[in-house]
Homo-oligomer: A and B are copies of this chain.
Amino acid sequence: MQRKSFGNVECPIARSLERVGEWWSLLIIRDALHGLTRFDAFQKSLGIAPNMLTRRLNALVAAGLLERRRYSERPPRDEYVLTASGRDLRPVLLALMAWGNKHFAPEGASVLLAEANTGAVADPVLVDRTSGRPITETDYRLVPGPAAGERMRQRLASASQTPSPDQDASPQVTRRPRRSAKKSG
C-alpha cells in the first residue's frame, strides 16, 4: 500500500503537512518570518543545495504560502514574500520552538520569545481564545466538525484521546473500528 495523497483526506493536520511536511519548507518559512526574501539569503542561511532550494521555493509558491515577486529585470531576479497563509504558520513554528527549547536544548535556550516593548521573556502556550484556558489533554478533545465524513466520525469516536501519561497502555483497545463498507473511488 503506497501513501495516499493527503490533500484528499479530511484531517486538517494531514492537509497542512502536505504543504509544509518537509523540514526545508518549514525552515524557509522560518527565515521568511525573519524577513528574508531572496534566494541568496535563504541559501546562505540554510546551507541548502541550490536545486533543492529552488524546488522547495516553487512548492511553497504553488501551495500559496509564498508569493514570487520580480525585484530586478536585468538580471531577472525574484524575491519570495510570505502570503497570509504562510504568515499564519508563525504559531506552529513558535510551538515547535518552545518544544525544541524544552526538550532539545540541554545547554539552555538559544532563542526565546520576548515582549517587544519590555523585553520580558514570554512563555508561549496554547489556550482557548474564548475561555483563556490552557488546552490540556484532559480539558479539550477533538470532535467532528460540520464537514466530517463517516470515517472521520468513527475515528474520533474510537480515539482514546486522553490517556494520561502514567496510564498503562496495555488495556487500551488499539484496534480501530472497521472501515465503512463504502469505498472511495
Are B94's CB and A12's CB within 8 A?
no
Q: Output the least CB separation between A35 and chain B (Å).
A: 3
Across the interface, A16 reaches (CB within 8 A) one of B104, B130, B132, namely B104
Q: How far is the CB of A185 from chain B (nearest CB, A)?
A: 13
Interface pair B13/A110, CB less than 8 Å apart: no
Q: Which of A65-107 contact B (CB under 8 A)?
A: 69, 71, 79, 81, 84-85, 87-105, 107
Cβ–Cβ contact B13 & A27, under 8 A: yes
| Dominant secondary structure of chain A at its interface with chain B | mixed
Place the interface of chain A in its size category: 35 or more
Q: Check if B36 sits within 8 Å of A13, measured CB to CB.
A: no
Q: Is the CB of A41 within 8 A of B127?
A: no
**Cβ–Cβ contact B89 & A92, under 8 A:** no
> Residues of A with Cβ closer than 8 Å to B?
1-4, 6, 10-19, 21-24, 26-27, 30, 33-38, 40-41, 43-49, 52, 64, 69, 71, 79, 81, 84-85, 87-105, 107-117, 119-132, 134-135, 137-149, 152, 155-156, 159-163, 165, 169-170, 172, 174-176
Some 19 contacts from A to B, beta carbons below 8 A apart, are A1-B43, A10-B111, A11-B100, A12-B110, A34-B155, A40-B174, A64-B103, A79-B169, A87-B137, A91-B98, A91-B135, A105-B145, A110-B147, A110-B149, A111-B142, A113-B141, A114-B143, A121-B143, A123-B130
